[in-house]
């Protein structure tokens, strides 16, 4: 187990290096210039050149790449070109906002998704099952940004119950619509997965054995089938959570949510290289760690799984 963990952590290193490498390549082919951009329309050309030199932006890309890795290993993610603030500080400001949205989304998604999935499985092959599954597919097929707009139109504009966008004073009413927007889609995936895994498990022998022992059908379903369905459910939840922690650009845009995703897009737009590199790396770490956690959770859910 411990050995497995170490091996997985060591395997992260080349992946993260690869992510950084591609990010650097991209930043160097991306047209546009962060310095001219940040200096405004009137700045003196010589000053612009001097800044470029000071920031080592005129070094070849591979030198910049190695310097960046060196600095990162020392725990320094550099400074934003635009705000002159440490990138790490800025990321730490944005992540909690995104985390709030991600956590609420996961709550919506897991409750709705699992319940609906169970419902469909219990009423397998009835009209309930079919309706629920068609709706799940409709929600999967609906673009999030458009679904968000419809929710805004209904609940904010027409009914006036909830704010249109932003985070306001941070109260929960600002969170409801974005969390439902993102959560609905996740829950649709989850419902389908829960249903199909549970059906698969139900068909397996040990369930029949359990039933012959005289346990009521409901207990069978919840105890055995659901427990076995947890592995795919955890996989979906874990990976979705990681991707929401990386910021859902479209949802954050629609709802004006000051999260991580929008922050990175703004950095791309301003060519704020230090911010882009730092954010992409943090994002990749979140992904890789989430993957690892999901894998580790299998062991807890199913003791037959061993890590060797």
Partner 1 sequence: MRSRVTILLIVVMVMLSMTVLAADPQYGGTLNLRNSSDWDTLDPAYASGFNAGAMAVKIFDGLVRFDYYSNDVVPSLATDWTVSDDRLIWTFNLRKGVKFHNGREFTAHDVKFSFDRLFDPEVASPGTWAYDMIVGTDAALDGTTEGVSGVTVVDDHTVQFQLKYPFGLFLKHLTLPHALIVPQEVVEKYGDLFSENAVGTGPWKLIEWEHDDHIILEANEDYFEGRPYVDKVYYRVIPEDLTAVAEFEAGNLDFGPIPTAEFERWINDPIWKDYIVKQTELSTYYLALNQNVKPLDDVRVRKAIAHAIDVPTIIETLRNGTDTLANGPLPPGMEGYSAEIQPVEYDPEKARQLLKEAGYPDGLKIELWTSNTTDRVQMTGVFQAFLADVGIDAEIIESEWATFYPAVKEGKVPMYYLNWYADYADPYNFLQPLLYSKGSRVGMNDPLIDQMIDEMERTSNPLVRYELAKRIAQRTFELQPYVWLFHTTAYTLKQPWIQDEIWHQMYDADKLTTIWIDDSKK
Partner 2 sequence: MENTNVLDVKMEKGRSLWYDSWQRLKKNPTAMFGLFLIIFLGFVAIFAPLLAPYDPNKISLRENVDPPSRAHWFGTDYYGRDILSRIIYGSRISMTVGFVVQFITLVIGVTLGAVAGYFGGKVDMLIMRFTDVIMSFPGLLLIIAMRVALGPGLFNVFIALSVVGWTGKARLVRSQVLAIREQDFVEAARALGVKTHRIIIRHILPNCIAPMIVSVTMGIAGAIMSEAGLSFLGLGVQKPIPSWGSIINEGLQYIRVAPWYTLFPGFAIALTVLGFNLLGDGLRDALDPRLKH
- Interface with partner 1 (CB under 8 A): 31-34, 36-44, 46-47, 50-51, 54, 79, 82-85, 90, 93-94, 156, 163-167, 256, 258, 263, 268-271
Nearer to partner 1, 80 or 186 (CB): 80
- Binding at 16: pick from partner 2, partner 1, none (beta carbon under 5-8 Å per type): partner 2
* x/- letters, 92..131, toward partner 2 (CB under 8 A): --------------------------------x-------
Rounded Cα distance between 306 and 274, Å, is 41
Q: Does 70 bind partner 2 (CB under 8 A)?
A: no
* x/- letters, 147..186, toward partner 2 (CB under 8 A): --xx-xx---x-----------------------------
Binding residues for partner 2, per CB under 8 A? 14-16, 18-19, 22-23, 26, 29-31, 124, 134, 137-138, 140-143, 145-146, 149-150, 152-153, 157, 196, 199-200, 243, 246-247, 249-250, 253, 261, 264-265, 268-269, 276, 280, 283-284, 287-288
């Amino acid at each position: 187990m411990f050995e497995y963990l170490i091996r997985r952590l060591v395997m992260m290193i080349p992946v993260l290096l690869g992510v950084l490498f591609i990010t650097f390549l991209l930043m160097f082919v991306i047209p546009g210039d962060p310095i001219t951009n940040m200096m405004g329309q009137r700045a003196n050309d010589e000053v612009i050149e001097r800044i470029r030199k000071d920031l080592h932006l005129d070094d070849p890309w591979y030198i910049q790449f190695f310097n960046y890795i060196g600095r990162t290993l020392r725990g320094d993610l550099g400074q934003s070109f635009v705000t002159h603030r440490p990138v790490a500080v800025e990321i730490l400001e944005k992540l909690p906002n995104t985390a709030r949205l991600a956590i609420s989304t996961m709550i919506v998604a897991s409750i709705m998704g699992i319940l609906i999935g169970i419902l469909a499985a219990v009423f397998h092959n009835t009209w309930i099952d079919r309706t629920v599954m068609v709706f799940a597919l409709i929600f999967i097929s609906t673009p999030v940004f458009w679904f968000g707009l419809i929710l805004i139109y209904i609940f904010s504009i027409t009914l006036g119950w909830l704010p249109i966008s932003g985070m306001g004073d941070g109260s929960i009413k600002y969170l409801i619509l974005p969390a439902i927007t993102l959560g609905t889609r996740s829950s649709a995936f989850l419902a389908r997965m829960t249903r199909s895994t549970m059906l698969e498990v139900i068909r397996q022998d040990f369930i029949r054995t359990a039933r012959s022992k005289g346990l009521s059908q409901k207990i069978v379903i919840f105890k055995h089938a659901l427990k076995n369905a947890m592995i795919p459910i955890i996989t979906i939840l874990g990976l979705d959570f990681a991707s929401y922690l990386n910021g859902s650009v479209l949802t954050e845009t629609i709802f004006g949510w000051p999260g991580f995703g929008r922050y990175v897009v703004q950095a791309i737009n301003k060519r704020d290289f230090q911010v882009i590199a730092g954010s992409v790396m943090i994002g990749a770490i979140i992904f890789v760690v989430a993957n690892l956690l999901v894998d580790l959770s299998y062991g807890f859910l199913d003791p037959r799984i061993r890590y060797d």
